Structure 1
Amino acid sequence: MKAVLFDLDGTLIDTAADFVRIIQNMCREEQRDVVEAALIRTQVSEGARAMVKLVYPELDVTDPIFLAHRQRFLDIYGEDIAVDTDLFEGMYPLLDALEAKQIPWGIVTNKPRWLSEALLKALNLTERCAVLVCPEDVSKTKPDPEPMYLAAKQINLPAETCIYVGDHPRDIDAGRNAGMYTILAAYGYLPLEHKDDLTAWQADCIVNDVEELQQAVFKLLDPHQKTA
């Protein structure tokens, strides 16, 4: 293995707290029952539509009123994208260790580019990230392998020499479809309908925290080295 690629929300960066803040504030403003933080966390990887649906379950996602609420959610999030957001605990040392060994790392996400770039800028990761692939860059998003192939191409490596880390079945499917080594980040925002049987995702490896992730990654990068 010669590179590490990450999903963004729930894998590399812990963004849930900001989503919880915004969604719960929307509930209060609309005098609706406040959605529990734990439920919001499971929907983070599903995108803005799923977030807003938690507040307005009765509205069809094509309803102009729903779309207006979705845009308001995105505007609020874009303005304060990293108030309570940071990398998962242990992730900074992992990135430092990768860079020390000149191992490129990057991101393949279904998060829109304008939000992804704003988030990386807020966390001072823009210059450190070797590649960022977003939905606007491809004709088909994850679980299709197209974004995975594009990321590998942009760092001039065969896809099969890349590790992909994600917290959603589509992440694992996309990585597997591209021939990458897949790692399931069980510490992430596991969707409710898929969290009870993680082996069914068919990832090559499952890790429960970033420490385990670092051990797994460096064992693949250097089979003779047990830890980073």
Structure 2
Amino acid sequence: MRLETIRAVLFDLDGTLIDTAPDLGHALNLQRTRHGLAPLADEVIRPQASHGARGLLGLGFGLHPDDARFPAMREEFLELYAANICRHSKPFPGILDLLDALETRGLKWGVVTNKPARFTEPLLSILDLAERAACIVSGDTCPQPKPHPAPMLVAAELCGAAPSQCLYLGDAERDIQAATAAAMPALVAAWGYLDADDAPHTWGAHAEIRHPLDTLAYLAA
């Protein structure tokens, strides 16, 4: 079913707009090597790449945020990631074609991510996407990250649109929860970092799509 009033398309970053798993995994494996552990396979790390340092440290070291070692290990991981932020990260296949199509139609696009600005902004700049985006809302732009609706509402305002006039694409349940809480239609990006245990059909999205260009089917011609 088409969404006739969309004026802007917003994207989650990791696992939706950009394939960052190779560099996140590289940083995690560098850290594991520092601590005398063997590297993990890419296919093991990939499903956790949307869950940030919390998910990756849980996978790599069995750490949780309430563990005493977590803050220091988190900072070590983030320093390693910052030094290797765009070795292999790149837009998913079809993303650049989608962005071109949106701009041709006169639609704005932007990013709403839980990734801190210290990583979001350099990454998008290196990939020549920062200046094209109508908004970049990072994980520390608002006091509350997704699944709180605040980042979604800020992004809509920056795009000069009502939340109902924005379409959000994300690959995690919290993405859809945030959009729903903001009264914003959302699509599940099934090319992203979904885990085998995820059940995206239960998240309440408008639809689930398999390729970025499938987004165009939901926009007014």
TM > 0.5: yes
Any idea what SS the aligned residue of 1:139 has? coil
How far apart are the structure 2 equivalents of 1:182 and 1:11? 12
How far apart are the structure 1 equivalents of 2:100 and 2:170? 20
Is 1:20–2:18 an aligned residue pair? no
**Structure 1 length-normalised TM:** 0.88
Alignment check: 8 A CA contact 1:108 1:147 kept: yes
Q: Which has the higher contact order (CA 8 A, sep 6+)?
A: 2
Mind listing any 5+ residue stretches in structure 1 that lack a counterpart?
A: none
Q: Which of residues 173, 177, 201 in structure 1 aligns to 2:177?
A: 173
Is 1:159–2:163 an aligned residue pair? yes
**After the TM superposition, which residues 48-87 of structure 1 pair with which residues of structure 2 at under 5 Å, given as runs?**
48-57=53-62, 59=63, 61-63=65-67, 65-87=69-91
Is 1:94–2:92 an aligned residue pair? no
**How far has the Cα of 1:121 moved from its partner?**
0.9
Corresponding residue number in structure 2 for 1:185? 189
Count of aligned pairs: 216
Q: CA RMSD in A?
A: 1.7
**How far has the Cα of 1:192 moved from its partner?**
4.4
Corresponding residue number in structure 1 for 2:216? 218
Alignment check: 8 A CA contact 2:139 2:145 kept: yes
How far apart are the structure 1 equivalents of 2:97 and 2:64? 43
Is 1:198–2:196 an aligned residue pair? no
Q: Deviations over 1:143-200 (max 9, x none)?
A: 1111111110111101001100000001011111212111001110114432xx3211
Alignment check: 8 A CA contact 2:117 2:139 kept: yes
Corresponding residue number in structure 1 for 2:3? none
Corresponding residue number in structure 1 for 2:46? 41
**How far has the Cα of 1:63 moved from its partner?**
4.5
**How far has the Cα of 1:64 moved from its partner?**
5.0
The letter of the residue matching 2:10 is: L
Is 1:208–2:206 an aligned residue pair? no
The letter of the residue matching 1:102 is: G
The letter of the residue matching 1:11 is: T
Corresponding residue number in structure 1 for 2:152? 148
**Structure 2 length-normalised TM:** 0.91
How far apart are the structure 1 equivalents of 2:185 and 2:67? 40
Identity of aligned residues (%): 38
Mind listing any 5+ residue stretches in structure 2 that lack a counterpart?
A: 1-5
How far apart are the structure 1 equivalents of 2:205 and 2:66? 34
Alignment check: 8 A CA contact 1:168 1:191 kept: no
Alignment check: 8 A CA contact 2:31 2:76 kept: no
How far apart are the structure 1 equivalents of 2:40 and 2:98? 33
**How far has the Cα of 1:60 moved from its partner?**
5.0
